[in-house]
Structure 1
Amino acid sequence: MATRDLTRRFAELRVLQHGVEGSASEIKRPGDAFSESGLLDDASTGTSWATTRHQLPPLWVDKVDGVEEDVRLIQLKLRELSALHTKRLMVTFDESEAERERDVEDATREVTALFRRAERQLKHLMGESAGLTPAEATVRNNIQRATARKLQSLSGGFRTSQKDYLRRLQAQKKGDGAFDFLAEEERASKHAKGRLEPGFNEQQMAVLEDTEMLVGQRDGEINNIVKSIEDLSTIFKELAVLVIDQGTILDRIDFNMEQVVEHTREGVSQLQRAEEHQKSALPLKCIGILVVLIIIMLGLLVWKHSD
């Protein structure tokens, strides 16, 4: 049975409910609805809610959890599908064979639907970048890229298992000897030179009808498997595009970081030049000469007026 942890969502709803109840109680208070204490209580409630909401993880984390849950379900369904493939390839001619075929088809459709849902969630996650800091965007992109790679690996394994199942099913179909009695009857009729009457008896006709029905069922199953492999190929290509896009984004981030480091180095170099220029002896010499000239001029003025 599949389960999902909704503790975080429950905490958000509970905090929101407490905030609504607190506001309603302040409105219903008789006589002092707009008193100073009520305003202070509202302010404290809003601050508490803002603080609690700030402590909650971003909304894209919930979508990542949803994709991880789909990945876990895909892994579980792939194991179940492998067991169904093994049971289906067992040679039987009873009613359980058709039931096994239906089970395989249902499991294949369910796994394909899970892949498509996880892919859609990844695409939605890529489009939500508003309000994120550069650090949060980097973390989100790294998580998305790792999840896309995991989905791509599972999709490749699923496609390989489907191809192997199709190959074994076709080999089983080619190796079926249900029509061997027809060739034997034909050879016997030729050797008998007309002593046997042409045609089939009732038992042979029943076997022929059962065999034709079995071949038709297998052809339909093979067509369904081929269609699922084509769908998987499309999903695999789209996941590869996601991984490439994430790699391009990370390359751009790395390039921007290199540019920032280069600009920082240039800024440090400019600061060092300014510091060296500030500590240079030439300005100090000029200041010293000016001070000496001022003292000399003052001395001359004093000597002139004293005479």
Structure 2
Amino acid sequence: MAARNLTEAFIIMRNNALQTKHIYAEQNLSDRMALVGPENVSSDGVELRGINLGNTAPPPWIDSLEETQYILSRLKTKVDSLIELQSKQLTRPTLDDNSQEERQMEQLTREIGRAFSSGFRQVQTIRSAAKHETKHAEKQLAVSAVMALSSALQELGLRYRSAQQDYLQKINSREERNRLFFDDEPFNMMNKTDYWLNESTSSEPTSSMWQGQQRQDHVLLQLDDVEQDIRIAVEREQEVENIVQSISELQNVFKELAVMVQDQGTVLDRIDYNMEQTQVQVQEGCQQLKKAESYKTSNRKMINLFINILLCHIQILVTVLLYHFCIFLKLYLMFFSQSHSN
């Protein structure tokens, strides 16, 4: 029963998960230190200033990031394997029929094309998720991840395309040399065949028959070799056509990557412009607040109004005191007059 070895994939995904967990742990610790200071940092993960630091979850696009990193690692391995197979194919001294290696190269080429397409789709997923992020830090982290992954895909694509172009050039040069050899050889064999036939008619019957049979067998063997070489040349031509097709597909992928990188640059420019506008507006607001404070302290009308209100309160207080004093004095005089009359 056939089985697949997934140990390498498991190790890569486990390392990515541990690295992501470590990054978010450090980010939470730095945020805690920045918000509450070193003296208020709690070690039991309780809620500090209304923020529960223990419930911070990774962003939803982290799965796409890990998948893209795994695709990049597999792409690097496949590109190295393809370059090694191409080197073996080019360093062979003869034009033998290596159909197994050719099938391996074609399969690797198809797998690399599918991997590039899958990586591009994952990067597009991260990019669309970054647009819906509400937190500025996570949005900036997503944009940085998209740029890093796009650069890695572009570097691998350039390496793959240069390897394919070099292999195509070397195959074409070999085909040119073989074509020159194949174009000259049939003419020489035709001359040799005519010579052998003419010689066989002029010699003795027994010896000419034996020699003619040997020479015809030799000619047939050479014709078989030529047919085999022509068939190999046709297969090489088909292989070259497949490589050209893969290069064209890779060119389309590069065009999409270029458009995506351009869009990311536009988004970054827009973010920088918004930050500059926010800074300008905040500075203008500070100036307006300072101006309002100066107006408030130097306004004479406000000072006069405050003095008038104070004088009114003093006058009301004096009037109330005089009224009570008059009542008290009247009562005192009445009491004094009654006591004096008695």
Q: How many residues align?
A: 264
Matched, 1:235 2:236: no
Higher relative contact order (CA 8 A, sep 6+): 1
Describe the shift of the 1:8–1:142 C-alpha distance in structure 2 as closer, same or farther (beyond 3 A): closer
Deviations 1:139-160 (A, max 9, x none): 1112112211221221122112
Describe the shift of the 1:125–1:133 C-alpha distance in structure 2 as closer, same or farther (beyond 3 A): same
Match of 1:222 in 2: 240
1:55 Cα shift?
3.3
Larger radius of gyration: 2
Matched, 1:286 2:304: yes
Describe the shift of the 1:8–1:53 C-alpha distance in structure 2 as closer, same or farther (beyond 3 A): farther
1:216 Cα shift?
1.2
1:300 Cα shift?
11
Q: Helix, strand or coil for the counterpart of 2:13?
A: coil
1:132 Cα shift?
3.5
Match of 2:8 in 1: 2
- The alignment's TM-score, normalised by the length of structure 1, stands at 0.73
Deviations 1:29-86 (A, max 9, x none): xxxxxxxxxxxxxxxxxx9xxx798333122112111101111111111111111110
Where structure 2 has 5 or more consecutive residues not aligned to the other structure, the ranges are: 1-6, 19-46, 201-215, 327-342
CA distance, structure 1, for counterparts of residue 56 and residue 303 of structure 2: 60
Where structure 1 has 5 or more consecutive residues not aligned to the other structure, the ranges are: 11-46
AA matched with 2:272: D
Describe the shift of the 1:289–1:166 C-alpha distance in structure 2 as closer, same or farther (beyond 3 A): same
1:283 Cα shift?
4.6
Partner residue of 1:181 out of 179, 185, 208: 185
Partner residue of 1:141 out of 134, 140, 143: 143
RMSD: 3.6
1:9 Cα shift?
7.7
Superposition map of 1:52-67 within 5 A: 54-67=55-68
Between the aligned residues of both structures, percent identity stands at 28
1:193 Cα shift?
12
- The alignment's TM-score, normalised by the length of structure 2, stands at 0.67
Matched, 1:204 2:222: yes
Describe the shift of the 1:296–1:108 C-alpha distance in structure 2 as closer, same or farther (beyond 3 A): closer
Q: Helix, strand or coil for the counterpart of 1:57?
A: coil
Contact residue 67 and residue 122 of structure 1 kept, 8 A: yes
CA distance, structure 1, for counterparts of residue 275 and residue 103 of structure 2: 54
Describe the shift of the 1:262–1:119 C-alpha distance in structure 2 as closer, same or farther (beyond 3 A): same
